[in-house]
Each structure stands twice: as C-alpha cells, then as structure tokens.
Amino acid sequence: MNSVTPSGNAAAFVHRYAGLAGRLPGASIPEIRKLREAAAETLVAGGLPSRRVEAWRYTDLTPMLRAEFREALTAVDEAVELPAKRAERRAVFVDGRFRADLSDLDGLVAGSLAEVIETVAGRLNSIASASQPMVTLNTLLFEDGLVLEVPEGTDAGRLELLSVASGETASTLHPRHLIRLGRGAQLVLLETALSATGARHLHNPVFEIEVAEEARITHVRVQREAESAYHLAHLGVRVAEGGVYDGFVLNAGGRISRSETHLALNGPNATAHLNGAQLVAEGQLADTTTALDHAAPNCASRQTVKTVLAGRSRGVFQGKILVRREAQKTDGYQMNQALLLSEEAEIDSKPQLEIYADDVKCSHGATAGALDENSLFYLRSRGIPAGEARAMLVRAFLQEAVEIVEDEPAREALEEAVSAWWAQHGEAA
C-alpha cells in the first residue's frame, strides 16, 4: 500500500486509512492488517461506485464524495442524550464506537468488536460481499461494532441496537456488526439510527448475520438520521435449513440513504422476509436494493416495499430474486409500490427474477401513482380538513407494510417515525 499513490473518488478515504492504520483495531493482527490492505488496494484500483456502475445507476454519491469528513477515533466519553428504551437490553454506539456505560447486555454473549477482534478475525467478510465497494470501505476503516452470539436453543428476547451520531464533527462511521444465531435460537433486534439536527456525517454500517438451522431473527431497522447526513447500509445474511430472517427497514432520514441486503437461503424450508418503507422529502434520495438467492429447495421469500415521496425527491427500488437450478418448489413474491405526493418526485423501480428451476412459484410487480382523488374527495366531503385527509391516505398506504411487523415495540417505533416524518413534511407535501 505504501508504494501506491491514491487517486480517484476514494482517495480521501484511503489517505485517512494511511493516517489511522496504526490506531485502528486489529492493527497488530496480521489477518486484519492484510484484510485492510487488500481493501485499500481495491479502492485505489476501482474507487467508490458511480452511476456508470449498473447497481448504482440511480443513486448518485457525488454530494457525499464532495463532502469533507474529518478523522474518526474521537473521544467517546461525553454525555449523550438517548431516547427511551424500547427493549430490556440495549447496545449503544456513539459516533461508531461502543459505549459500555450506556449499554445493557446482561445475559447475552455480546460485546464490542474492538475488544474481541482477535477472536473473530476469521469471520470478517465471510458473509458480506467483499466485492461491494461500501463493504470494502467499511473493511478499510471499521473501528467497532456489535459481536453477538445467541447459543443453540436460546430465546434471547429483544435487543435494541442504537446508533447515535453526535454531530459535533463531520465524521465517517463504519461499524461492523457480527451476529450469529445457533440452531433453534431466537432474537428480536430493533435497530435505530439517529443523529443530531444538522449533523453531516457518513454512516456506513455492515452487518454479517448467520441464522442456523431452525433459528429465527426478527430484524427491524429504523433510520432517522439528519437530512444532511449520508446513510449507506449493507446487510449480508445466510439462512440455514428451516431458519427464518424476518426483516423490515424504514428509511426516513439522510440526504442520501441506501439499504442494501444480500441474503442467501442455503437450506431447505428456509424463509426470508425483506419488507420496508421509504419516506423521502425535498432534496432527499432513498434507495432500497436487495439480492435474494434461493439456493435450496422448498424455500419461501416475501418482499413488500412502499415509498412515499414529497417535493423534489427520488426513490429507488432494486430487487433481484435468483432461483438456482436445485431450488425446486421455491415460493417467491416481490412488490414495490410508490406514492408520489408531488409532480416533481421521481421513483425508479427495477424488480428482477432470474429463474433456473422449473418447479417454482414466483411473482413480482411495481406500481406508482398519486393520492386517489376520489378517496380524498370522500374524506373532504365528510368534513375532514385537506391536510388531515391527505395524512389519513398516506398512513393507509403505509399500513399494509408496517402491520407486517409482529413485534409490538418495533411496530410502535415504525409508527412513531412515520408520525414524526409527516409532522415535519406533511404540510409541504
């Protein structure tokens, strides 16, 4: 790496790594050092994605790449105001680093990646695709993350994973979360990303999640960061025989937000739910991209993603379902629906099916439209003010997606985020 001169759109990040390399976790571990050096070389050679890359053709990162981010590794012992707990246990990360003083992991086999990195070095990049540029960037600069093991047959209950960006510096946060459920284990993971008003940072989390035989994880993600922030999340998930990954993501913040999930159903009778919603206001772009790999027979997948767009905003949905030759009896469903509250809003939808098996049941679809004028007229004729009528129709549109979430505290968090978004943007919409 020392003999290479960084250039291109990733140069600032590679320079940052050169200055931080000796202080990053695992710097003395050959395996970690080699992993980071390989990531640096990849970024030097290929850079970060532009719209010339097919998977990023609708999402332009130019505003993020023009931003000036400062070094990470800042002090983390300052006071931080946190929202009320939504679960019996909580893991708190402030500016990308674990805060033991604010967390409660009692009874869980869990802790800070920075503290146990030597024991999990071999698991990094085992699931998340190293060919993904934002994963590569995370590999280069990750400082901490949650390491969680749910032993075989254990019901770990509900855990809240809270990430807070203080907003005091224009920093980059690259947490790396490693989660593994043993055979028959269960977990409800409620993840929330928040930041101070006006915070300008890049939050680039990567999750590597393993779901063993007959295990089940409910993973609800609520992204409510500042509208001046950038949130680019990547999830790599493997599900074994009879396992279930039940996921929901709500993007309701960030100037540019992208939730990218690569999930493989590797064992018979495995199930995946990749549902979500996007709330996009003036000047924002929200992108949900998924790649679902049916690699075993008798597996099922469901995906419903709804997008509400106000003002000059842009929404993106890219969803690919791959059914391999051996994945007979696959049952896959995918639907993307967009509600445009402005003539200046735009939605780009790209559902895909790639099927090599001959005994499958797969369907996909996409719709886009404005509020139904007849429904709006009906509500107005009953004396309901225009703004309240519009709010009722927007909530009804989103309800089908939100009510899929069975966990009550998680569903309440989603409903709270929707209410907060509408309170801020509803009048303009």
Predicted confidence band of residue 131 (pLDDT cuts 50, 70, 90): confident
Residues 6 or more apart from 163 whose CB is under 8 A from it? 93, 96, 173, 175, 191, 192, 193, 194, 203, 205
Q: Who has greater pLDDT, 338 or 128?
A: 338
Nearest alpha-carbon partner for 429 in 336, 341, 304: 341
The amino acid at 92: V
Which residue intervals of 94-245 are DSSP H helices?
113-120, 133-141
**pLDDT attached to residue 198:** 85
Element (H, E) at 1: none
Is 291 within 8 Å of 320 (Cβ atoms)?
Answer: yes
Assess whether pLDDT exceeds 60 at residue 57. Answer: yes
pTM, two decimal places? 0.94
- Which residue is it, tokens 């990053």? 24
Residues 6 or more apart from 259 whose CB is under 8 A from it? 221, 223, 233, 235, 249, 251, 276, 287, 288, 289
pLDDT (tens digit per residue) in 390-416 = 999 999 999 888 999 999 999 999 999
- Which residue is it, tokens 């006006």? 198
**pLDDT attached to residue 2:** 45
- Which residue is it, tokens 């032993």? 151
The strand pairing partners of 191, in sequence order, are 161, 221
